[in-house]
Structure 1
Amino acid sequence: MSRLTLRTRLTVLYGALLLAAGTVLLALTYVLVGRRSGVKILATKTGPIDGTDPLDAYYSAADLPDKLRETALHDLLTQGGIALIVVTAVGVAFSWLLAGRALHPLHRITDTARRIAAAPAADRGLHERIALPGPRDEVKELADMFDAMIERLDRSFDGQRRFVANASHELRTPLTLGRAVLEYAAHRTATTPEVRQLTDMLLDINARHERLINGLLLLARSENELVDQAPVDLADIVEHTVSQAEPDGITVGAETAEAVTLGDAVLLERLVQNLVENGIRHNTKPDGWVRVACRALPNGLVELTVTNTGPVVPRYEVPGLFEPFRRYGTERVSHDRGAGLGLSIVRAVARAHGGEVTAEPRDGGGLAVRVTLPRFAPSI
Structure 2
Amino acid sequence: MIRNVRRWSIRARLSLTFGALFVLAGLAMMVVTYLLVQQSLTTGQTNKTMLVTAPIQKSGGGTEKFVVDGKPMTAAQLKQALVDQQRAYRAATLDSLLTRSGIALAITSIGAVGLGWLVAGRALRPVHRITATARRVADRSLHERIALRGPRDEIRELADTFDDMLARLDRSFDSQRRFVANASHELRTPLAINRTLIEVAMARPNAPTELTRLGENLLAVNTRHERLIDGLLTLAHSDHGLTTRTDVDLATLVQRAVPATGDRSIAVVTELAPAPTSGDPLLLERLVRNLVDNALRYNTPAGSVWIRTEATADTATLVVENTGPELADTDLGLLFEPFRRAEGDRTRSATGTGLGLSIVRAVTQAHAGAVTATPRAGGGLTVTLDLPTRPAPAT
TM norm. shorter chain > 0.5 = yes
Distance 2:235 2:49 in 1: 91
Matches within 5 A, 1:339-358: 339-358=353-372
Q: Which has the larger radius of gyration?
A: 2
Amino acid at match of 1:268: L
1:72 to 89, 93, 98: 93
Matches within 5 A, 1:17-56: 17-36=21-40, 38-39=43-44
SS for the counterpart of 2:247 is strand
Partners of 1:359 and 1:370 within 8 A in 2: yes
1:97 aligned residue:
118
Distance 1:251 1:18 in 2: 73
Q: For residue 18 of structure 1, report the CA deviation from its aligned partner.
A: 1.8
Distance 1:173 1:332 in 2: 29
Distance 2:276 2:107 in 1: 61
Partners of 1:327 and 1:333 within 8 A in 2: no
Distance 1:208 1:81 in 2: 83
2:216 aligned residue:
200
Q: For residue 265 of structure 1, report the CA deviation from its aligned partner.
A: 2.5
Partners of 1:350 and 1:373 within 8 A in 2: yes
Partners of 1:281 and 1:337 within 8 A in 2: no
1:33-73 deviation digits (Å, cap 9, x = unpaired): 223455469956699xxxxxxxxxxxxx9997322222222
CA 307–34 in structure 1, closer or farther in 2 if over 3 Å, else same: closer
Matches within 5 A, 1:301-316: 301-316=315-330
1:239 to 247, 255, 258: 255
Partners of 1:242 and 1:254 within 8 A in 2: no
Matched, 1:209 2:225: yes
CA 266–11 in structure 1, closer or farther in 2 if over 3 Å, else same: closer
CA 105–194 in structure 1, closer or farther in 2 if over 3 Å, else same: same
TM-score with structure 2 setting the length: 0.82
Amino acid at match of 1:114: R
Q: For residue 148 of structure 1, report the CA deviation from its aligned partner.
A: 0.8
Amino acid at match of 1:304: L
2:384 aligned residue:
370
1:164-198 deviation digits (Å, cap 9, x = unpaired): 11111011011110111111112222432223322
Report the aligned-residue RMSD. 2.6
1:231-285 deviation digits (Å, cap 9, x = unpaired): 2233332222222334152223333233332223222222222122212211233
CA 166–229 in structure 1, closer or farther in 2 if over 3 Å, else same: same
Distance 2:342 2:221 in 1: 21
1:14 aligned residue:
18
Q: For residue 335 of structure 1, report the CA deviation from its aligned partner.
A: 6.3
CA 41–224 in structure 1, closer or farther in 2 if over 3 Å, else same: farther
1:50 aligned residue:
none
Gaps in structure 2 of 5+ consecutive residues: 56-81
Partners of 1:126 and 1:151 within 8 A in 2: yes
Distance 1:90 1:369 in 2: 55
Over the matched positions of the two proteins, sequence identity in percent amounts to: 49
Aligned residues, how many? 357
Matches within 5 A, 1:1-380: 1-36=5-40, 38-39=43-44, 65-117=86-138, 119=139, 124-247=140-263, 249-285=265-301, 287-295=302-310, 297-329=311-343, 331-333=345-347, 336-375=350-389
